[in-house]
Amino acid sequence: MAITASGVTVSLGGRPILQEVDAQVRPSELLGLIGPNGAGKTTLLRVLTALQPADGGSVDYEGATARELGRTTLARRIAFLAQGGEAPVALSVEALVGLGRLPHRRPFAEAGDADRQAVARALALCDVSGFACRAVGTLSGGERRRVLLARALAVEAPYLLADEPLAGLDPQHQLDTLQLLRRISREGTGVVVVLHDLSLAARFCDRLLLLDHGRGIAEGPPAAVLDDARLAQVFGIHALRGAHAGEPFLLPWRTLENEKTTS
C-alpha cells in the first residue's frame, strides 16, 4: 500500500524536467524530497498528486491509476500544499481552512459536524485556532503559511504532499511544523515534504529522495543519502557533522568554491 512512481519522465516546453524518476510514498513515513533549485522536486510532487501528467512511466495509487480512482477519490486520498502562499485575502481563516473539506462535501451541501470537527482539529494542530475569525490578508507571511498547512490537514487524507511548507517560517514554527508532520506520519499518514534545509531534513525525515537535474540521485535513510561526496557533487557544499544527545546532525558550512579560495 503506497503511492509508487516508476520511471516518471516529464518534459515541459521541450525541456526535460524529470527523467526516469522512481519514488515511493509509504504510509506512516515522512519522506523528504531534497535537491538544488530546478532539480524537479515540485514537478515530481505534482506528478504524484496527478496534477501533472507524466510523459513516460506511471504512478500507481495503492493498486489503481489516477484515472481509475477519479478526481474526487484522489482528492480525498491526497492532500496537496502548493508552493507559495496564494490565498483569498478577504476570507476568514476558518472559512479558508474549511475549503479543505470540499472533496468530502456534496456540491452545495453546507458543512456538517464532521467537517467542522476536522477544521477545528486542523486549526489546533497548526496553532492557528487563535485567529480563526481573522481575515487571511491581515496575517503575517508565516501565519499565512501555517493556515495554508491547516487547510491541507483539514482534508484528513491518508497522504499529504507539501511543497516547501517551511518557507517563511521562524525557527520555532519550522521545528513545530516538522514535529507536526512527523507526528501525523506516526499516526499513519504518508507525508512527502520538499525541504531546502538539509539539517532539518536529515534530522526529521525517515527517508530522503535526492534529485538533481531531473534525475533521482540517491534514496534511503538520511545518513546514507547525505554523505560528503553527494553534498559536494550535488550541492557543491561541505557540511560539519556532529552529534547531540546521541542524535547526529549536519550543518552546511561552506561552499566548495569558497573552500578553494580560502584554503
Partner 1 sequence: MTPNASPGMRPAPLLGLLALAVLALTIVSMAVGYAPLPLGEAVTDLLAGQKSLPALVFYELRLPRALLGVLVGFSLGMAGAAMQGLLRNPLAEPGVIGISSAAAFGAVLAFYSGLSASLALVLPLGGIAGALVATVILFILLGRGASTTTLILAGVALNSFAGAATALALNLAPNPYAALEIVFWLMGSLADRSMNHVALALPLMLLGWALLASTAPALDALGLGEDTAASLGFDLGWLRARLIGGAALAVGSAVAVTGAIGFVGLVVPHLLRPLVGHRPGRLLIASGFGGAILVLAADIGVRLVPVRPELKLGVVTALIGAPFLFALVQRLRREAV
Strand 159-163, strand 190-194: pairing = parallel
Binders of partner 1 in range 104-143 (CB under 8 A):
105, 107-108, 131, 133-138
Residue of 2, 95, 175, 217 interacting with partner 1 (CB under 8 A): 95
Q: Report, in Å, the least distance between residue 254 CB and partner 1.
A: 36
Length of the chain: 263
118 vs 155, which CB is nearer to partner 1?
Answer: 155
Euclidean distance between CA atoms 193 and 154, whole angstroms = 17
Strand 190-194, strand 29-34: pairing = parallel
Nearest C-alpha neighbor of 147 from the set 76, 101, 94: 94
Q: Report, in Å, the least distance between residue 144 CB and partner 1.
A: 12
Binders of partner 1 in range 201-240 (CB under 8 A):
none
C-alpha cell at position 159: 497522504
Site membership for partner 1, residue 256 (CB under 8 A)? no
Euclidean distance between CA atoms 226 and 220, whole angstroms = 9
110 vs 113, which CB is nearer to partner 1?
Answer: 110
Site membership for partner 1, residue 167 (CB under 8 A)? no
C-alpha cell at position 70: 477519479
CB-based burial label for 72 (10 Å; 0-12, 13-18, 19+)? exposed
Angle between helices 171-186 and 141-154 (to 10 degrees): 10
23 vs 136, which CB is nearer to partner 1?
Answer: 136
Task: Say how many residues touch partner 1, by CB under 8 A.
Answer: 40
Binders of partner 1 in range 52-91 (CB under 8 A):
71-72, 74-76, 78-82, 84, 86-88, 90-91
Residue of 49, 174, 177, 189 interacting with partner 1 (CB under 8 A): 49
C-alpha cell at position 101: 473539506
Euclidean distance between CA atoms 177 and 171, whole angstroms = 10
Q: Report, in Å, the least distance between residue 106 CB and partner 1.
A: 9
Angle between helices 141-154 and 113-125 (to 10 degrees): 140
Q: Report, in Å, the least distance between residue 21 CB and partner 1.
A: 19
Q: Report, in Å, the least distance between residue 74 CB and partner 1.
A: 7
Q: Report, in Å, the least distance between residue 142 CB and partner 1.
A: 16
Give residue 199's identity as a one-letter amino acid code.
S
> 177 and 153 in contact (C-beta within 8 Å)?
no
Residues that bind partner 1 (CB under 8 A): 46, 49, 51, 71-72, 74-76, 78-82, 84, 86-88, 90-93, 95-96, 99-100, 102-103, 105, 107-108, 131, 133-138, 148, 151, 155
